[in-house]
């Protein structure tokens, strides 16, 4: 008797994590449908072997149609970044997630796996070896953090019999075809706008994109309904050392300039205020969120994922850097 082919609906399938997830699902024999809000996104997911579903996070009907017949949904689409309007973050992260939940439940999806973030815990204090019991911070002054916290709250609250929801939280996602984080860092370095804060000697957890995908798939198969799981590359790294390795891997000389932490800490809210009030064009050179990410320790305990999911990194830091250098 033939085994039924597994099927998945993916939002954010043309993004960095999404491309790797779709590629892995297709390679593992899944039938994949992926939400695509533009023709370029539709072409990208089709090239990876997925069936494009035209629509966006505001189109519940399109998502319900796309998710019809799928056992699992992976919700990766989000409004990213350190800067933007409250409306943009609310629509992309909170309303969009609620719409995806409603659409997938309506379509009869059995399990909904959300790609969360440690940023949902960020409100100004370092995160030192934290686990999943640390509180979310929907009160954070950083819009990305606040809205991702509320999005995850909606995911966990939606868990019920017949519609199981799980959140997987990676930290500092990196890899060879990153189209967001590393390109932005390289642009700042080349423009002379990058500086270490207090020398950049603090610790941070990191997660190679293939390790994120591994965590998402394990959560889909083994995760406990209503639970949250951190996934990382394992041992934390020194922020400056690792970022310098990423920058060097792309053939760019790492910066040496550093600014005192107290200067950056005081400047961030002041600069944000100027950009809001005047308002000035583009993104401010320093924000609260940028300060937290670049100047404060963020180390995560992944023992729960190891224990309950059987999670272990599938790509080491050394392997990932070698791949990065090979594609420079």
Residue 169 falls inside a structural domain: yes
User: Nearest Cα to 73, choosing from 113, 35, 22?
Assistant: 113
Residue 245 lies in a domain: no
The two tokens of residue 285 are: 């050179």
Dihedral angle computed from the Cα positions of residues 87, 93, 97 and 100, in that order, rounded to the nearest 10 degrees: 80
> pLDDT tens-digit profile of 312-325?
999 999 999 999 99
With beta carbons less than 8 A apart as the criterion, state whether 31 and 97 touch: no
The answer to whether 144 is a known catalytic residue is yes
Distances (CA, A) of 113 to 18, 213, 239, 245: 13, 11, 29, 32
Q: How confident is the model at residue 267, as a pLDDT?
A: 87
Q: Is residue 200 part of a domain?
A: no
Q: In the structure encoding, which two tokens stand for residue 12, read together?
A: 């954010």
Is 106 contained in some domain? yes
Q: Is residue 258 part of a domain?
A: no
Give the CATH number of the domain where residue 135 resides: 3.40.50.720
- Taking each helix axis as running N to C, give the angle between helix 16-27 and helix 39-47, from 0 to 180 degrees, rounded to the nearest 10: 40
* pLDDT reported for residue 122: 96
Which domain range does residue 168 map to? Answer: 7-173+207-232+299-314
Q: Within the chain, which residues score under 70 in pLDDT?
A: 1-3
C-alpha closest to that of 288 among 305, 267, 274, 258 = 267
The DSSP H or E segment spanning 39 is helix 39-47
CB neighbours of 277 closer than 8 A, spacing ≥ 6? none
Instruction: Tell me if 115 sits within 8 A of 216, measured CB to CB.
Output: yes
Looking at the domain assignment, is residue 217 inside a domain?
yes
Residue 138 has what pLDDT?
98
End-to-end CA distance of the chain: 47
pTM (predicted TM-score): 0.95
- Residues in CB range of 318: below 8 A, 6 or more apart: none
The number of folded domains in the chain is 1
Q: At 175, phi and psi to the nearest 5?
A: 160, 175
Q: Could you tell me if residue 282 is inside a domain?
A: no
Find out whether 174 and 181 touch, Cβ atoms under 8 Å: yes
Q: What is the C-alpha separation between 254 and 40, in angstroms, rounded?
A: 33
**In this structure, is residue 281 part of a structural domain?**
no
Q: What is the pLDDT of residues 130-178, one digit of tens each?
A: 999 999 999 999 999 999 999 999 999 999 999 999 999 999 999 988 9
Report long-range pairs for 84-93 (Cβ below 8 Å, ≥24 apart): 84/143, 86/143, 89/143, 89/144, 89/146, 89/147, 90/147, 91/57, 91/58, 92/57, 92/147, 93/144, 93/147, 93/148, 93/150, 93/151
The residue count for the chain = 328
**Helix, strand, or coil here: 151?**
helix
């Amino acid at each position: 008797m033939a085994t039924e082919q597994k099927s998945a609906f993916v939002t954010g399938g043309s993004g960095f994590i999404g491309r790797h997830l779709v590629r892995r699902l297709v390679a593992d024999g899944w039938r994949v449908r992926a939400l695509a809000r533009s023709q370029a996104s539709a072409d990208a997911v089709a090239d990876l072997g997925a069936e494009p579903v035209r629509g966006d996070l505001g189109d519940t009907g399109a998502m319900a149609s796309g998710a019809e017949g799928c056992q699992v949904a992976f919700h990766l689409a989000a409004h990213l970044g350190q800067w933007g309007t409250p409306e943009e973050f609310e629509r992309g992260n909170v309303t969009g997630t609620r719409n995806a939940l409603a659409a997938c439940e309506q379509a009869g999806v059995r399990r909904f796996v959300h790609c969360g973030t440690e940023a949902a815990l960020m409100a100004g204090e370092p995160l030192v070896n934290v686990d999943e019991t640390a509180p979310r911070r929907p009160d954070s002054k950083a819009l990305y953090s606040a809205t991702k916290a509320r999005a995850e709250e909606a995911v966990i609250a939606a868990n019920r019999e017949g519609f199981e929801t799980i959140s997987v939280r990676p930290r500092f996602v990196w890899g060879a075809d990153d189209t967001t984080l590393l390109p932005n860092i390289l642009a700042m370095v080349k423009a002379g706008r990058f500086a270490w804060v207090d020398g950049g000697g603090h610790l941070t957890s990191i997660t190679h994109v293939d390790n994120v995908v591994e965590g998402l798939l394990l959560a889909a198969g083994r995760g406990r309904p209503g639970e949250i799981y951190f996934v990382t590359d394992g041992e934390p790294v020194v922020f400056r050392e690792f970022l310098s390795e990423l920058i060097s891997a792309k053939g760019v000389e790492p910066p040496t300039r550093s600014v005192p932490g107290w200067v950056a800490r005081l400047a961030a809210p002041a600069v944000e205020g100027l950009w809001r009030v005047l308002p000035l064009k583009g993104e401010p050179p320093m924000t609260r969120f940028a300060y937290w990410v670049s100047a404060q320790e963020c180390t995560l305990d992944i023992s729960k994922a190891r224990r309950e999911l059987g999670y272990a990194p599938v790509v080491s830091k050394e392997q990932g850097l070698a791949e990065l250098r090979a594609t420079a």
